[in-house]
Structure 1
Amino acid sequence: MQRITITLPEELCTELDAFVQTRRYDTRSEAMRDLLRTALRVTAEAEPEGEAMGVLSYVYDHHLRDLASRLMDHHHAHHALTVTTSHVHLDHDTCLETVILRGPVRDLRTHADGILGQRGVMHGNLFLIPVESQDHGHGLAHHTHLHVKESF
């Protein structure tokens, strides 16, 4: 077995201790092993195929050195996936961004992982909505609509 060290904010450590007590773990290490196994299992599940709309929301510390610039560079590198972005200042230190995305599920997940994995991004989630493109016409005016599917 290997020993690793992690640094947690005080609030998260308090939540972990409450989790340990509620679930009756003997140690924080046992709880962390179970939480990590669960997270890895969920991540390893088969990624859905096809096209999707995605809602990527995250909170970050805009004072953290170069973080805002790194986030912007990442968004520019994946600009073809972005439909629109909203930016809200929560307080003097933190910002909330919500990005509406459209594209192949694999590409949306890759883009979201690149954002959510940045040091200084505190909370985040990607919500995926399965869609398919359908041609639609009104006389001579043909265009494409997105149709929301029940599942991937």
Structure 2
Amino acid sequence: MSIVRFGVSLEKELMEVLDKYVKDNHFTNRSQAIRNLINKNTVTSKWQCNNIVAGSITLVYDHHKRDLLTKLMDLQHDYHEEILSSQHFHLDKDLCLEIIAVKGKAVKLTELADKLIALKGMQHGKLTMTRAS
């Protein structure tokens, strides 16, 4: 990958916003921040166009909730083509953390995440997507 240098003109207020973004996100420089913003925009465009994306679904739940584990597994089997792998962690005697790696059309991944997060007993859930190519 080759690097191309270019100049950017910004209003002073916008430059201050960019510098705060650099600082808040611990970027080493403005170029890194701009690269990150462009990538975020590209990913968002791919979601809206329903392109193939990759990501993870992070779930925290109480494994004692009745039928939760059965429903969780049933849903994962329903979406076996989108699920690459999953990892299960025991946070304490009741709570579990599950991270599910996924790849597929953005709308399908969103649908899966929404169904998993909506399960009774789920305490937290989040879908994170990024471009797959």
TM range (shorter): 0.5 to 0.7
Q: CA deviation at 1:67?
A: 0.4
2: CA distance between counterparts of 1:113 and 1:123?
Answer: 11
More strand by share: 1
Structure 1 length-normalised TM: 0.55
Q: Which has the higher contact order (CA 8 A, sep 6+)?
A: 2
Superposed CA RMSD in Å reads 1.3
Q: Tell me whether 1:130 sits opposite 2:115 in the alignment.
A: no
- The alpha-carbon deviation at position 54 of structure 1 amounts to 1.3
Stretches of structure 1 lacking an aligned partner (at least 5 in a row):
1-45, 132-146, 148-152
Using the aligned pairs only, state the percent identity: 34
Question: Matches of 1:83 and 1:76 in 2, distance apart?
Answer: 11
**What's 1:90 paired with?**
91
Partner residue, 1:62: 63
Q: What does residue range 65-84 of structure 1 map to in structure 2 within 5 Å?
A: 65-84=66-85
Aligned residue number for residue 121 of structure 1: 122
Q: Deviations over 1:57-115 (max 9, x none)?
A: 01001000010110000000101101110000111111000000000001000010110
Aligned residues: 87
TM-score (norm 2): 0.63
CA–CA separation in structure 1 for the residues paired with 2:94 and 2:128: 25
Higher helix share: 2
State the SS of the aligned residue for 2:115: helix
Report the residue type matching 2:111 in the other structure: T
Match of 1:51 in 2: 52
Q: Which ranges of 4 or more aligned residues in structure 1 deviate by more than 3 Å?
A: none
